[in-house]
Amino acid sequence: MQSNKNITTAFSPEKHSLNNLLVITFAKNRTHTYPLAVSIARGAFKYAETEIDKQTIHMAVFSATKKDVNRALALTGYLFGHRDVGIFIKGRFIADRHKIIPTLKCYANAIKCADYKAHCQLVIDDPFSEKYHSSGLSLQITLSKEKQKPQIIQRYLFPCKYLHLYFKFQKDHPSLPENQIQAAGIERSCDWCPNFQPSAFQKLPSKIVFPNGNVLIEN
């Protein structure tokens, strides 16, 4: 498929969403933003118009490039709250189309970076520890005069900074950590992001925190 090659015949949104970022369809309407929406859609990676029951339907395919991501963001903004709008991703229709906008914005930032991992991935402390899963405030008083020992904390690389805001591992769950991450990504509607890689979850060298606050990363 060649970039910015418009097509004049209707196509399958589901099929074209399989190998591209997403497909947006919308009907002709009388809002003041409609001409702007059409202009943006016509500049997409691929574009077509068709008629269904004498109603003009616009169909725009967006690739995973900086230009198309920005166009997709602009189009979703102009169509926000409009009826008769459809979004297709990875061959499926997105019922709650507003849920994809945060992911689209996040990817738009990531694609600007020289190394997307610097934007997407996050170094975290041990997510399987008791401290991680505890809730509320706790107060610990040490009466012993013994010298405090350094604390060793296991670190991990979490593959999606956006998902981490809403995610917590289920302790003792039989599924692998990466499968839990994938399932959460599907629920949060960010699994379609080109940078979403649950398999990137991995152990990192531990860090040692000394009583005086100094930190040492193990090799």
Q: Which tokens go with 117?
A: 């991992």
Amino acid at 86: G
Percent of the chain with pLDDT over 90: 67
Residue 85 above 80 pLDDT?
yes
Grade residue 61 by pLDDT with cuts at 50, 70 and 90. Answer: very high
Could you tell me which of 187, 192, 208 has the C-alpha nearest to residue 21?
192
- The pLDDT assigned to 108 comes to 97
- The pLDDT assigned to 134 comes to 54
Neighbours of 101 (CB within 10 A): 16
48/190 Cα distance (integer angstroms) = 27
Burial class (CB in 10 A: 0-12, 13-18, 19+), 71: buried
What are the CA-CA distances from residue 96 to residues 13, 90, 100, 109, 167 (Å)?
A: 17, 15, 8, 22, 20
Q: What is the pLDDT of residues 175-214, one digit of tens each?
A: 999 999 999 999 999 999 999 999 999 999 998 888 887 7
Could you tell me which of 153, 157, 161, 167 has the C-alpha nearest to residue 201?
157
- The pLDDT assigned to 2 comes to 39
Domains of the chain: 13-110 (3.30.70), 116-217 (no CATH)
* Helix (H/G/I), strand (E/B), else coil: 208: strand
- The pLDDT assigned to 140 comes to 52
What are the CA-CA distances from residue 32 to residues 9, 60, 74, 77 (Å)?
A: 26, 20, 15, 13
- The pLDDT assigned to 150 comes to 86
Amino acid at 93: F
Residue 105 above 90 pLDDT?
yes
Residue 18 above 70 pLDDT?
yes
